[in-house]
Structure 1
Amino acid sequence: MELDFAKGDGLIPAIIQDELTGKVLMLGYMNEESLAETEKSGKVTFFSRSKNRLWTKGETSGNFLHVKEIIPDCDKDTLLIKANPVGPACHTGADTCFNETNSDPLKFLNYLTQVIEDRKNSTPDKSYTSSLFAKGVNKVAQKVGEEAVEVVIEAMDNNNDLLKTESADLIFHLMVLLAHQGLSLADVVKILEDRHKK
């Protein structure tokens, strides 16, 4: 990618965002060498203005930022780096350098969506999810129906522990069914958002 390092005297800002939660974790600066090292190692590496050298985030703490995607802005003078953080991003021990909590109780669903997509084309004997895809839409839809019935039964029995367990099974199998049909939970959420706006 062609970037305008000249505008900032050899440095460009790099905004680091958690790939799963969407939270902004920190901001650092990169020169051409640190960007090349980031791309090569897969770990976010900045140019430290105070140390006047390359600095890989986590080199001392172990709290690395594993790169998932690097996106230049429209002017080619700023980067958005989507990453998976290992531990807190801030040197103070906070999740982010803006003292925000980097949590989203639903972020695991984003990860699970990726896992399900990976399993879609895997060998059936490698995982339960792959075997479901291999059995076809009828079997997957049947599993969704079975889990939905079990959710209803546990709700009517007022067994909240089993209700949570069966709800997890239902959501998982629904996600597999959606993936089988080329859809995802994001498509369903979009409909809910549209309905809410009306």
Structure 2
Amino acid sequence: MTNLQFDDKGLIPVIVQHAITREVLTLAYMNEESYKKTVETKETWFFSRSRQELWHKGATSGNKQQVVSIRTDCDSDALVVEVLPNGPACHTGEETCFHNNLEKFDDTVGYNVITSLISIIEERQKTMPEGAYTTYLFNEGVDKICKKVGEESAEVIIASKNNDAEELKWEAADLMYHLLVLLQNQNVSFYELLQVLQKRHETKTHN
């Protein structure tokens, strides 16, 4: 920490980023004390400029953030803190504070479409709105969900064997959706799945 460059108010800007999805969650500030607490507890602590006090993210809401890594820029006057969040980062309930689009210059689809779908599936399981297909699947239970995963897997295979790229995209999307529902039904986080893939990748890379 001795190399960090705090400003004249004793603060340093912090970009909080999801360690797996790479989504930027929020921009906050730390002073020396909140930085030390973050390192000690491995959870994010910030300094609230409006309240002029330390702020433990999630202490009230329960949406704490497990710190995976802390990086600084080339001038040591800004930080990137990679976290695994235990809920939305924004006080509005949105996954990220940066959820208001001002401009979009192309049709590139980012990873956030998956995070949005995961949030919808989680919400469906909690509220079980009548008439929703996801509600139907949860009501039918694991046997029905597994059957749909099997059916969509078969459709992916058929589209691939037919060399039908357009059909493959649609069937793969159906498979992904039903797999996410199955994971939710089994209380397995999609991010845990990604962690498994990451560990396998790291193992193969170092061997």
Tell whether the 8 Å contact from 2:26 to 2:97 is kept in structure 1 after alignment: no
Q: TM-score, normalised by structure 2?
A: 0.54
Which of 178, 186, 191 aligns to 2:191? It is 186
Counterpart-to-counterpart distance in 2, 1:104 and 1:24? 18
Residue in structure 1 matching 2:153, options 139, 142, 148: 148
SS at match of 2:163: coil
Kindly state the Cα deviation for residue 119 of structure 1 after the two structures are TM-superposed: 0.5
Superposed CA deviations along residues 13-35 of structure 1, whole A, max 9, x for unmatched, are 66465777533776789742699
How far has the Cα of 1:122 moved from its partner?
2.3
From the superposition, tell whether residues 18 and 187 of structure 1 become closer, same or farther in structure 2 (CA, over 3 Å).
closer
Query: Quick one: which of 87, 90, 99 aligns to 1:68?
Result: 90
The 1-side partners of 2:26 and 2:122 are apart by: 27
Normalising by structure 1, we get a TM-score of: 0.57
Amino acid at match of 1:83: C
Provide the residue aligned with 2:23 in structure 1.
Answer: 22
- Among the aligned pairs, what percent are the same residue? 27
C-alpha contact (below 8 Å) 1:18/1:83 kept by paired residues: no
User: CA RMSD, aligned part only?
Assistant: 3.8
Structure with max Cα Rg: 1
* 1:164 aligns to 2:169 (yes or no): yes
Work out the CA distance in 1 between the residues paired with 2:164 and 2:96: 40
Give the counterpart letter for 1:177 in structure 2. L
Provide the C-alpha distance between the structure 1 equivalents of 2:196 and 2:90, rounded to a whole number of angstroms. 28
Counterparts of 2:50 and 2:121, CA distance in 1: 36
1:21-170 counterparts in 2 under 5 A? 21-23=22-24, 31-32=49-50, 68-69=90-91, 82-88=96-102, 105-123=110-128, 125-170=130-175
Preserved CA contact (<8 Å) 1:69 1:82:
no
User: How many Å separate the matches in 1 of 2:48 and 2:104?
Assistant: 22
Cα distance, 1:176 vs structure 2:
0.1
Given that residues 25 and 97 in structure 2 are in contact (C-alpha distance below 8 angstroms), is that contact kept between their aligned partners in structure 1?
A: no
Q: Distance in 2 between matches of 1:178 and 1:188?
A: 9
The answer to whether the 8 A contact 1:18-1:25 is kept is yes
Report how many residues are paired. 140
- Structure 2 CA distance for partners of 1:175 and 1:106, relative to 1, 3 Å: same
Q: Is the 8 A contact 2:125 2:138 kept in 1?
A: yes
Aligned counterparts of 1:127 and 1:119: Cα–Cα separation in 2:
8
Following TM superposition, by how much is the alpha carbon of 1:108 offset from its aligned partner in structure 2, in angstroms? 1.3
